[in-house]
Chains A and B, each alone.
Chain A
Amino acid sequence: MDEIRILSPTGVCGSGFLESSFESALNQNPHVIGCDAGSTDPGPEYLGSGRTAFPRDAIRRDLRLMLLGARKLKIPLLIGSAGTGGNDIQLELVHGLVRDIAAAEGLEFRLALVHSEQDKTYLRGRLRAGRIKPLHPAPPFDEAVIDRSEHIVGMMGAEPFMRALEAGADVVLAGRASDTAIFAALPVMRGFPEGMAWHAAKILECGAAAVVNRKTPDCMFAWVRRDHFRVEAPDPGLRCTPQSIASHSLYENADPFRLVECSGTLDLTSARYEAVSERAVKVSGSEFIPATRYTVKLEGAEKAGYQSILIGSIRDPFIIRQIDDWTSRLAEKIHARVRMVYGDRLRPDDYVFNVRIYGKNGTMGPLEPVTEIRSHELCLVFEATAPTQEIASTIAGITRHQALHLPIPEWSGLITAIACPYNHLDRGAVYRFNMNHVVEPDDPCEMFPMEVVEIDGAREGKAAA
């Protein structure tokens, strides 16, 4: 085999792609279809809660087309980071969608489910053995962090995908995975140089994002060879140029030349990018430096509490010119009132009251270099985060009343200081990412248990009918 052809239908399963691009890509006879289905980018609440960032029906639409395409060509379909965070709730949700689609379409295939949710006992053992190490920057980490996490996932490398393919899986549905590992798995398994495999994977994982001007989320196609790879977007209206492909290594990466994976580092220092047509680019020279020790990155989310927010605005120039002082006086009033209501049942450390001031530094916070406010109005978002929704809601109610009537020296008499378009809103549980650490496993697959299931959609479809 002198070439591996890989189709990436889109950057995230659920974000969509054009059927015309997908059909034209299938005509290029790919050996594998891969799709990333998650990320940390939507924030910690998805890993923490088990909800998905893209709507279930949107995920179903993309999955259906990918499953039909892969089964038509009898090629493997590899999906990583199922359901946004890749925890077991999200993996099971996407598994359910796969089964529904198989039943509706009468599809038969071998499905490998690869779990990435981590066993807390295993992690405690690794921590005690000194086999969990911080990346930079990292929050403090100990057994208490493991215990209070809602969900912890490991980000799998290419090996669990390879194991699934070796087990004869037609469809691999994996929990949290390195985006690139999904696409590197087959070429690495077939012995292609890892520099080519991982760099092509890096371009493919975002679908058509590496073209000059992406119109809508869409497909990308790569031909991986031993000394180079070529990339081209199936939509004839999309162009890859050497600059657009080289630029893709900048996106969401802190270091544009070195991309760290479980098994090593993709080094792009010597990568060369050449146009082979108006729309296609050939890449060579990319190198992969194997790691001395295999590492698996952890992602964890814990509950920060329950939150209620109040939105209000201020137009009075007297208040605007003393806004910092006004908000700190307000905070004191709120803390005093909370003490009156709850007494010793709620200590000051048990809740967080925060004010965002839009028109001042609401967007950049401590990074904001502009110190002088010129706005004629300000928007304030008041947040109360507390151990229960009821308490958060109570503090937000207190905030509304205290902010409305907080006096300023320029006026005498009862003032109404903020304009509120609506009453406070209860946001439910809020989460935080609580680790930026790697585990050193003994084996690349030990953190990722696999189940192999024979899907017989024709039978299941009949049983359902």
Chain B
Amino acid sequence: MTALAKLARLIRSKNAGPFELTFDIMFDDLATYERVKRSGAISREVVAARYRLPADQVRFFYCDPALAIKASIPRPFFQGDLRDSDGHGGQQYAPLMDIEIP
């Protein structure tokens, strides 16, 4: 088992407009990307569980030409609202880093 953060070139989060957050998990080479994709260890359900959301709130994509996995969720608070803590949404990816990949 290897942590996702050890296999990915970049795991990042960012606003997708003021109302959604999006996560990109990007890989350097096809073999690693395919290994993670085929393992099924990261999925809509896994992302939902990590952010304590119902699975139907998560959009999940395999983006083959980019060697990337992507997920998008609604923001807990809209960008810039009084209780929003991350205006650019850039520091919300840490819960994805330790997903174990067989």
Contacts and interface: CB of A to CB of B under 8 A. Distances in A.
Given A138-B19, A253-B16, A367-B92, A43 B70 contact: no
Contacts of A431: 80
Contacts, number: 119
A375 B60 CA distance: 34
Contact of B76 (A243, A250, A367): A367
Contact of A367 (B14, B26, B52, B87): B52
A251 B89 CA distance: 12
A362 interface: yes
B79 interface: yes
Nearest to B53: A367
A249 to B, nearest CB: 7
A176 B74 CA distance: 24
Interface residues of A, number: 44
B66 A385 contact: no
Contacts of B72: 254-255
B77 A243 contact: no
A365 B82 contact: no
B81 to A, nearest CB: 5
A137 interface: yes
Interface of B: 14-20, 22, 24, 26, 50-52, 59, 61, 63, 65-68, 70, 72, 74-88, 91-92, 94-95
Contacts of B87: 42-43
A449 B16 CA distance: 28
B15 A41 contact: yes
Interface string A356-381: 10000011111101000000000000
Interface string A212-249: 00000000000000000000000000000011001101
Given A246-B65, A365-B77, A304 B83 contact: no
B14 A251 contact: yes
Contact of A247 (B19, B26, B74): B26
A357 to B, nearest CB: 10
A178 to B, nearest CB: 12
5 contacts: A243-B66, A256-B68, A365-B85, A367-B51, A433-B81
B70 A256 contact: yes
A416 interface: no
A362 B84 CA distance: 10
**Sorted from nearest, which 8 A-B pairs have the closest CB atoms?**
A246-B65, A254-B72, A254-B16, A247-B66, A246-B66, A43-B80, A44-B80, A433-B18
Given A247-B26, A247-B67, A271-B65, 14 more contacts: A40-B18, A40-B79, A41-B15, A42-B87, A137-B74, A247-B24, A247-B68, A250-B63, A256-B66, A257-B63, A383-B82, A385-B82, A430-B82, A432-B82
A43 B82 CA distance: 12
Interface in A363-416: 363-367, 369, 383, 385
A247 B9 CA distance: 12
A45 B26 contact: no
B18 A273 contact: no
A257 B63 CA distance: 8
B87 to A, nearest CB: 5
- Point out which of B51, B85, B94 has the most chain A C-beta atoms below 10 A from its C-beta: B85
Contacts of A250: 22, 24, 26, 63, 66, 68, 70
Nearest to B27: A243
A281 to B, nearest CB: 11
A139 interface: yes
A252 B22 contact: yes
Nearest to B64: A246
Contacts of A42: 87
A304 B18 contact: no
Contacts of A271: 65
Interface in A405-458: 430-433, 436
Given A362-B85, A364-B92, A254 B80 contact: no
